[in-house]
A and B are shown apart, each in its own frame.
Chain A
Amino acid sequence: MKIDLIYQDDTSNKFWSIEVNMNEHTVTYGRVGTNGTSKTKAFPDEEKALKEALKLAAAKKKKGYQEVSKKKKVVRDPYTFAGKPIKEFGSSANIDTAIKVFSESYDAEVSITEKLEQLVKLSNVGQIDTLVIGSYEDSYDISATFILDKLIEHKDKLSSLKHLFIADMDSEECEISWIQQADYTDFYQHFPDLESFGVKGGQGLTLGEIKLPKLKNLVIESGGIEGDVITDLCKSNLPDLEYLEIWLGTEDYGCSVTVDQLKPILDGKFPKLKYLGLKNYYLGDDLAVALKGASIINSLNTLDISMSVLKDAGAQALYENDDLLKLDHLNCRHHFISEDWMAKLTKKFSVQNINLEDKEEPYDDWYFVEIGE
């Protein structure tokens, strides 16, 4: 038995694991990316070793450690971007972190422009490869365009930039549907080396043809995006794209993406994809049906249709699609699937390979995506 735990926050990025072998357990701990330190302890019998191991692991979890298996590898979550822990920019920049530059959306004391100016004056600015733009003053009223202009102005200083996320805000800083995104059509040429690119907010978002030949990871988080965004994406030549995550959203928040528009992606437009996330989609059932015969499944490790309106019709389509057995992981978290169909899916795909957490109940006959209303 082995338990792998990880702890990540603003200041730490460490792991702790315990493995039980016969009557011994071995604890290994250290910074993520190192081998860490190991200690082995013997017990009278295996049962005692196991019991003690579970107790230690529980104590660690109580301190905020999380199981690695539950922390699925994603390019971005609230604490990490492109494999680095997100760290708010103060006065210095640690290049081992994803540096988050932001100002308060309400009552900001220092503007984000000033913060960016401070950042580019650092002696190690040329080594920064991962940058996250967070909230900025009056984010709910002002387009992110001025931030793009600022980044372009300093593109020579930010010459190592490989991973960029724009508008990482939580709902209290700015409602996802209130974020005023920008037109990126002319932006890419200034940062042609980007390997990861992410945006949050669908309002005002124009993706344009993405001219980023080295792009591996693309993340679009929204409560609703227009069909044009998908059309633009499918026009883009991204031969190395491995990770594609799109929160499609709901009509109320401006989603006009049809399942047909997603077809090129399902048919293998991006041949190197290992992770495909078509998430937070109000047409989750239709998407599940459209997965039938989708060639992309053959090359994927993970298919993520979580956060969506996925009901029994969708569950049945998944169940009848044997191609999906080739996946390492099928993520359906946040769904409206009945107990019966959940049991069938679990049996077919096994507990390890399918995520059916967060079963939701419709609210006054209303089925909702996770982010949106």
Chain B
Amino acid sequence: MVMKKYLTVGAVIATVAAVYLFFFVDWEARAVKKHLRSLAEEMAWSPGESQLAAVTRVKSVQDKLAESCQIDIPSYRIVQTVSRKDVPTYLTMGRNYYKELSVKFEDLKVESIQLPQAHAVTTAAVRAFGADGQRNDEVLVLEFTMQKNEKQWEITAVKEVQVLEK
């Protein structure tokens, strides 16, 4: 009798959890967030980093971008279309300019998903040390446009949102 009671309670909890996961969790939004968080993790380097780790990171960033990605970040004077194959060149330039860099996405929100497209916005906190050792931190709002291509999200555009307009 007691066993039956426990089984019933367990079944009710499992059903509620299944219903919640099926109807209330936005899996696409979670995938978009995961993709962007992973990008932020890979957009980091430090002086002691091995060559292999650097190459792996570059490859990972490359895989997250679409074949052609429009980047519009005036704070870093980057306003151009970047093709996937040029990513290593740009990242090498970045590594020469900043000896240490890390990016953290705060308040990451998926604004809209209309498959196959999604829009997400976040506050990017960039901590960087220039080649001369000078600290050069920046905080900016970024808007990402993403496209789903064969079950994989790809970034097609990154745009800086002006919070304060001079």
Chain B binds chain A: no
